[in-house]
Amino acid sequence: MNIFVILVSLFVALLILIPLLEKYQSKIGLDGAKKYSKYIWPLVMLSLVVQLIYVLMN
């Protein structure tokens, strides 16, 4: 049952994010992508820590 919730939420996120990314892609440009790229690894590490805590609690 949990897998269906995850799949539905990912599908909905894609339906929302793809049009937004296509709309604002030209406005952000490569400089904006470089500006936001420094946040990717900390967010990945944060999500891994949250996931580890979640697994340890259950």
- What backbone phi and psi angles, to 5 degrees, belong to 39? -90, -10
pLDDT of residue 49: 93
Domain residue limits, the chain: 2-57
Confidence band for 30, pLDDT divided at 50, 70 and 90: low
Mean pLDDT computed over 43-56 = 91
Nearest one of 28, 9, 31, 30 to 20, comparing CA atoms:
28
pLDDT over 90 (residue 29): no
Q: For 27-31, which contacts have Cβ atoms below 8 Å and span 24 or more sequence positions? A: none
What length is written for the chain?
Answer: 58
pLDDT of residue 28: 59
Per-residue tokens: 47: 């999500």
Q: Is the pTM of this model over 0.85?
A: no
pLDDT of residue 41: 85
pLDDT of residue 4: 84
